[in-house]
């Protein structure tokens, strides 16, 4: 069974631009969660999508948004990029959500904002 895939793996953007990251969950998984990982803050929850609906949300500004498609693939969008948005963005999928040990993480997208 193929794992969680994320594209692109690396991305360099400049301040003020916007970016879209993609996550394809494990086949059959309906929940996708997004996380931001930085050296200073560690791993922080962004949001979770289940069956095309945002079910949970972390404490991030409105510049961070996401969506999920009918095939469970998910995209995350960050508008008006700031230097502090440089981070590793991880997505994780699970069968029915609930953010437990059933989550499987993707390899991440490394975003650098200059």
Partner 1 sequence: EDKVVQSPLSLVVHEGDTVTLNCSYEVTNFRSLLWYKQEKKAPTFLFMLTSSGIEKKSGRLSSILDKKELSSILNITATQTGDSAIYLCAVEAPQTGANNLFFGTGTRLTVIP
Under the rule (CB under 8 A), what is the footprint of partner 1? Answer: 4, 33, 35, 40-45, 48, 55-59, 88, 90, 98-101, 103-108
Q: Which is nearer to partner 1, 25 or 106 (CB)?
A: 106
**Strands, E, within the chain: which ranges?**
5-7, 10-13, 19-24, 31-38, 42-50, 53-57, 64-68, 74-78, 87-94, 104-105, 109-113
Q: Which is nearer to partner 1, 78 or 106 (CB)?
A: 106
Q: Which is nearer to partner 1, 43 or 80 (CB)?
A: 43
Smallest separation, CB 55 to partner 1 (Å):
8
Q: What's the CA gap between 45 and 54, in Å, rounded? A: 13
Smallest separation, CB 71 to partner 1 (Å):
21
Smallest separation, CB 114 to partner 1 (Å):
22
* For residue 8, cis peptide bond before it (omega within 30 degrees of 0): yes
Q: What's the CA gap between 105 and 81, in Å, rounded? A: 24
What are the structure tokens assigned to 76, written together?
A: 């995350």
Smallest separation, CB 108 to partner 1 (Å):
5
């Amino acid at each position: 069974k193929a794992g969680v895939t994320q594209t692109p793996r690396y991305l360099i953007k400049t301040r003020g631009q916007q970016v879209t990251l993609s996550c394809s969950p494990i086949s059959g998984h309906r929940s996708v969660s997004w996380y931001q990982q930085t050296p200073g803050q560690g791993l922080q929850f962004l949001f979770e999508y289940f069956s095309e609906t945002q079910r949970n949300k972390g404490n991030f500004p409105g510049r961070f948004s996401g969506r999920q498609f009918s095939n469970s693939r998910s995209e995350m969008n960050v508008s008006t990029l700031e230097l502090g948005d440089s981070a590793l963005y991880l997505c994780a999928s699970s069968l029915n959500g609930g953010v437990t040990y059933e989550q499987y993480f993707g390899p991440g997208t490394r975003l650098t904002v200059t």
